[in-house]
Structure 1
Amino acid sequence: MDTHSLQAFLAVAETGSFSKAAENLFLTQSAVSKRVAQLEDQINSRLFDRIGRTVSMTEAGNALLPRARDILLRLDDAKRVIGNLTAGEIRGSLSLAASHHISLHRLPPLLKQFSEECPKVELDLQFAESEVAYEGVLKGDLELALITLSPEPDPSIHSEIVWDDLLHYVVAEDHPLAEFNEIDLKQLTDFNAILPGSNTFTRSLVELLFQQHQLELNVTMSTNYLDTIRMMVSIGLGWSLLPESLVDKGLKVLNVVDSEPVHRNLGIIFHRDRTLSNAATHLVEMLRSER
């Protein structure tokens, strides 16, 4: 059982397609099929059912999937442990993902400092939604991620708060709610809300708050890009909760008297079973000094 066959198996399992797996691995489709077939011969079990263009995992495939991820994760871990023995030298590659908001408003000075202090590190930086980056770390595809932290992280995920993000209720200056010196949450439900998507950690925080007051949100538009939400609020399309860094002179901050302050935690995550490279360890130490 070799790593190339396991990587091909994982790619097909995660994409549900031999052709997409081939694209992701920069291989031909026949090469991916051959590697999966070799693995099936080695374990004497069919891993996928191929019916027309539909690819689905068999019972054996579902049983192998978490173990294949674990094998590859431990192999990567062994490489990092050995690589870290080189007198603590900081070099090699670092796979990192950051949410769009953190990338724009928190990361630039840190990246500049990191690149100056660690010039031999090849940074593989991805910009992704927090939930996507979270899954990448959980699966072992990413070494680190800087995201909005999950309220209920998987036991395998180590998370640390780096920044406390205070969220403000905001509307455009000519919005009907802007006329009030004080409002309550019930009044907000009478107007359109513009919030991140329902599958996001930030949206979960807001929904929980309103559920605790037995109120139902009136969400008419959603996008996971907070800068886009700010734009839509500024032209009067609805109200939202936005970080302090996005509240500019075109917005009115509402005084919602029956709402406790709304905070979301921004921070770093990595897999508990993964030995961090020297490069990742250095970045984590830099982030800890930000607190």
Structure 2
Amino acid sequence: MDTANLAAFLAVAATGSFSRAAEQLHLTQPAISKRIASLEQQLDCKLFDRIGRHISLTEAGLALRPRALDIIDALEDTRRALSNLSSSVQGRVSMATSHHIGLHRLPPVLREFTRSYPQVAMDIQFLDSEVAYEKVLHGDIELAVITLAPNIEPPIMAERIWNDPLDFVVSPDHPLARVPTITLARLGEFPAVFPGPNTFTRRIVSQVFNREGIEPQISMSTNYMETIKMMVSIGLAWSVLPRSMLDAQVHALALPDAYLERQLGVIWHSGRTLSNAGHAFIRLLKHNAQLANLPSHSPGTTL
């Protein structure tokens, strides 16, 4: 059975479209149709029903899909394992990262990695942390650098790279900006903009309020920290932001009894063989984090 035909089948099944599958695999639509026809001939059964422009899997197609995924995953894992017998770092790393980490944490790491390993092609997707987690879980990508879930269980493996303190923030002209210290109950009296309801960050923030039995006035939500910062800066609501994003556009509030912190790190699937490039990328992430956490020393100080 030709794996190229299986790959075409999986692409059509995932996209629900021969044309989108062709784009995904960088082929022409006739080439995709030919591969599907060849696979159907090999298996002597119809894999897709085509009604107008709608494409759906037949019963045989539904039965084939998980088996095709297992075959492709096994071949890819075998390829990586054999490639790892060589100590060279080359090939491709498929990874995902959140928009925030991709903008504020990863650039220096990616710059050093591409300079150190020019033979590695980086395939990077910018996704919400929760979506990236699912893609690693299902074997769609090798690594993800994301906000770590509060609880991570096998088969997902995780390595914490950065602590990411979060601060409660308002606009500089917000009424609470002039109050020396704030309580959660007082904060809950004002409109808030929160991270999306299914995000790991939302869970972290909500837990603080739930422990006190306080229900914040959430007037809107979004998954993008940069959008939250803009909404806060123009006075629409209060929110929480990573401390690394704070500047003159927002004012951090003092809440002595409400410390918030996220863990940012890298995850991978324990059942998937990491490529040499994947191992090298994780090592570089950890090395950069260690350097960032070293205490600073004034000139002339003995180390």
TM-score (norm 2): 0.85
Matched, 1:30 2:30: yes
| AA aligned opposite 2:61 | G
Deviation at 1:105, TM superposition (A): 1.5
DSSP 3-state at the match of 1:124: strand
Distance 1:153 1:67 in 2: 27
Where in structure 2 are the equivalents of 1:55-204 lying within 5 Å? 55-86=55-86, 88-153=87-152, 155-204=154-203
Choose 1 or 2 for highest CA Rg.
2
| AA aligned opposite 2:143 | L
Judging changes above 3 Å, is the alpha-carbon distance between structure 1 residues 138 and 193 closer, same or farther for their aligned structure 2 residues? same
| AA aligned opposite 1:48 | F
Deviation at 1:153, TM superposition (A): 4.3
Instruction: Give structure 2 stretches of 5+ with no counterpart.
Output: 291-303
Distance 1:288 1:175 in 2: 39
| AA aligned opposite 2:243 | E
Distance 1:186 1:33 in 2: 61
DSSP 3-state at the match of 1:89: coil
| AA aligned opposite 2:78 | A
Distance 1:153 1:282 in 2: 23
Matched, 1:286 2:279: no
Deviation at 1:245, TM superposition (A): 0.2
Distance 2:53 2:274 in 1: 40
Instruction: Give structure 1 stretches of 5+ with no counterpart.
Output: none
Judging changes above 3 Å, is the alpha-carbon distance between structure 1 residues 64 and 102 closer, same or farther for their aligned structure 2 residues? same
| AA aligned opposite 2:267 | I
Name the counterpart of 1:276: 274
Distance 2:46 2:121 in 1: 39
| AA aligned opposite 1:280 | G
Judging changes above 3 Å, is the alpha-carbon distance between structure 1 residues 89 and 202 closer, same or farther for their aligned structure 2 residues? same
Preserved contact between residue 168 and residue 262 of structure 1 (Cα < 8 Å): yes
Judging changes above 3 Å, is the alpha-carbon distance between structure 1 residues 218 and 90 closer, same or farther for their aligned structure 2 residues? same
Preserved contact between residue 183 and residue 255 of structure 1 (Cα < 8 Å): yes
* CA displacement, residues 144-190 of structure 1 (integer Å, 9 cap, x when unaligned): 11111223446332221111111111111211222322322233332
Preserved contact between residue 160 and residue 269 of structure 1 (Cα < 8 Å): yes
Q: Aligned-pair RMSD on alpha carbons?
A: 2.3
* CA displacement, residues 216-240 of structure 1 (integer Å, 9 cap, x when unaligned): 3332233322122212211211111
Deviation at 1:100, TM superposition (A): 1.4
Distance 1:51 1:153 in 2: 42
